[in-house]
Amino acid sequence: MQVLPATLQTTYANLLQAHLNRPSFEFEGAPFTRKISGKTYWYANHRTAPGAALKQRYLGPDTEEMRVRIETMQAQRQSQADFRQHASSLVAQLRAGGISGPDRKTGPMLRTLANSGVFRLGGTLVGTHAFRHYDLTLGVHLSDGSGWATQTDDIDIAGFEKLSMAIEDSADPDLAEGLSHLGFQRRPTVGRKPSTSWILRDASYAIDFLTPSFDDDEKPVELPALKMWAQSLHFLNYLIADPIDAVTPYMEGLLVKIPRPERFAVHKLIISQRRKGARAKPRKDIEQARAIIWAMAEDQPYEIRNAIAVADEKGPAWRKALDIALDVQFIAKPPKYNREDDSIEFEGRALGVTRTFAVSGLAVSFFMEAEKTPEGRLDAVNGNRSRIEAAIKRQFRRAPSNRLPIGVTDLHPDDWR
């Protein structure tokens, strides 16, 4: 996995900060707060056109970060033209450094969604289009480098019904009008069932709206803020809780919301076990989850481990799906002693790939009371292989990683039971 040059990571950080400090629109007067159902939210007044009446525009929940952003916006207002010039130059630097952006079909669609306020109003970009943002978010090339260039996946937008109802604001310009202008129309449905998907007239591309399901049924639900109906899905609430900001490298950049990478990876593991029919989608789920997990295991292992622990607390269906997705199947080959790092290596298969698993010689001596020699440690492993493989399985289930080897501090005495 190739790490992005520090210059590109810095450029992207500056681009993201520029978008966060930019007023989401030219507001009039000072931003103000409103309390709704015991929670505080920020708003500002704006005009949709010269001479039009003032309209309240939702900015976001009252957090320390939001207050800092508002202070920055008020203290350092820069014209939209100046902002676009600055942001466009940063996007150009990313492109020159090999970072691709969306194609001419996808870019305008995302721009319409962003300009209508979809992400400001609680919408989160999910699916493969969200995954493509993690290269810049994590500072690594997660895929083969093709990025956006060769992909034409449908766009998935998810949002919470209750938040959409609470904020008392709506997409502006009207989202349906914007999609129609791009050639989209509502996907036909059977009977009176509301359409939750928009498709191009040639049916080559779709935009799907989704929302978490908290009932047994997965039925269409209205999102008032977006003036759209969304398909409710189980497990989605975990994915879009506490999303993060990201910038799509298109024109001057598009500020969007995407799931936290660790939650995206764990959610992909779960739904990979729920897919029915075609095998391509589950395989793609696992591939995307593996790429993120391998990347985060290098410097953010706690986040992955915590995301798995939170999912495990959701119930037996969640735990069962993760048990299957994170299972390790060992290959029946004799373990090998690696003298370079004093470890015992096993071959196995996990997350869709064959890889080497290793446990440190010190861990073997500590937990198995083996002699502190290569021969003694290897003998202990050969005599207790099933116990050691079980310990590796439990550790990988708890904290999957491509890092080697597993050491004393990674394991718990109960792992050797």
Which helix H or strand E contains 10, and what residues bound it? helix 6-21
Q: How confident is the model at residue 416 (pLDDT cuts 50, 70, 90)?
A: low
The answer to which of 169-178, 259-268, 359-368 has the lowest mean pLDDT is: 169-178
Domain 329-416 sits in which CATH superfamily? Shew3726-like (3.30.160.140)
Averaged pLDDT for residues 214-243? 88
Averaged pLDDT for residues 173-179? 81
Averaged pLDDT for residues 246-264? 96
- Terminal CA-to-CA distance of the chain, rounded, Å? 35
DSSP string, 20-77: HHS-SS--EEEEEEEEETTEEEEEEEEESSTTPPEEEEEEEE--HHHHHHHHHHHHT-
| pLDDT attached to residue 23 | 60
DSSP string, 343-383: EEEEEEEETTEEEEEEEEHHHHHHHH---SSHHHHHHHHHH
How many CB atoms neighbour CB 370 within 10 A?
20
Structure-block tokens of residue 293? 């997990």
Place of tokens 């970072």: 99
Q: How confident is the model at residue 96 (pLDDT cuts 50, 70, 90)?
A: very high
Q: How confident is the model at residue 261 (pLDDT cuts 50, 70, 90)?
A: very high
pLDDT > 70? residue 394: yes
| Percent with pLDDT over 70 in the chain | 88
Rounded to whole angstroms, how far apart are CA atoms 21 and 17? 6
Classify the phi-psi angles of 17: left when phi > 0, otherwise alpha if psi is within -120 to 50, otherwise beta.
Answer: alpha
| pLDDT attached to residue 169 | 62
Q: Where are the domains of the chain?
A: 99-259, 260-325, 329-416
